[in-house]
């Protein structure tokens, strides 16, 4: 859960900003535009941070969850995620996704997480961690969708 704390700590301010946009004083004001920019920026950065690529927080979560399924499961799962990001980058022709594809390619070449396994999560903890990761990613993706669809 320490891996997700950076993103989870951003959920509160993002949701407060989202809620502040519904206040009557914020209609078409410069403050509303600033708040909207904050919400979009925080959301987009955290969606990219939670992508399932190993050096990023999402990839670390995916690795820990996959290791709980078995010792030989983590590498194929993380490498499949990296390959999926590369395919998505080629399909979308987005420079941002191409940068993430470079990160994914590095993951494919290096073979995934090189750190030794210290302690494997129980299946119950793994399910809880996966649920928290997916829920956090979904919150940021929903809020940041307008910006994410317009990244170069």
With 60 as the cut, is the pLDDT of residue 1 above it? no
In the chain, the largest separation of any two C-alpha atoms, in whole Å, equals: 56
Q: What letters, b where the CB count within 10 A reaches 16 and e where it falls short, cover 106-118?
A: ebbeeebbeeeee
pLDDT, tens digit (0-9, with 9 covering 90-100), for 23-66: 666 566 777 778 888 888 888 888 888 888 877 888 888 888 88
Average pLDDT, integer, range 111-124: 72
Determine the pLDDT at residue 144: 78
CA 39 to chain centre: 16
For all residues of the chain together, what is the average pLDDT? 79
Measure the CA–CA gap between 25 and 46, rounded to whole angstroms: 28
Q: Look at residue 114 in the predicted model and tell me its pLDDT.
A: 60
Q: So what's the pLDDT on residue 52? A: 83
Looking at residues 72-80, what average pLDDT do you find? Answer: 81
Q: How confident is the model at residue 109 (pLDDT cuts 50, 70, 90)?
A: confident
Q: Would you mind telling me the total number of residues written for the chain in this entry?
A: 152
Percent of the chain with pLDDT over 70: 84
Question: How many other CB atoms are found less than 10 A from the CB of residue 95?
Answer: 11
* Token pair 């956090």 in the structure block, residue: 136
Q: Is the pLDDT of residue 84 over 80?
A: yes
Query: What average pLDDT does range 92-104 have in this prediction?
Result: 79
Q: What is the pLDDT of residue 79?
A: 81
- Residue 28 backbone class (left: φ over 0; alpha: ψ -120 to 50; beta: rest): left
Whole-model pTM: value is 0.74
pLDDT of residue 152: 61
């Amino acid at each position: 859960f320490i891996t997700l704390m950076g993103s989870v700590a951003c959920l509160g301010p993002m949701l407060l900003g989202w809620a502040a946009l519904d206040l009557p004083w914020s209609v078409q004001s410069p403050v509303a535009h600033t708040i909207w920019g904050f919400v979009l920026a925080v959301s987009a950065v955290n969606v990219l941070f939670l992508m399932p690529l190993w050096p990023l927080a999402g990839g670390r979560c995916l690795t820990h969850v996959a290791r709980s399924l078995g010792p030989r499961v983590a590498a194929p799962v993380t490498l499949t995620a990296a390959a999926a990001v590369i395919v998505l980058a080629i399909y979308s022709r987005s420079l941002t996704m191409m940068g993430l594809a470079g990160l994914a390619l590095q993951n494919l070449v290096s073979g995934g997480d090189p750190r030794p396994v210290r302690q494997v999560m129980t299946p119950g903890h793994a399910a809880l961690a996966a649920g928290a990761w997916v829920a956090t990613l979904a919150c940021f993706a929903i809020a940041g969708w307008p910006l994410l669809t317009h990244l170069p």
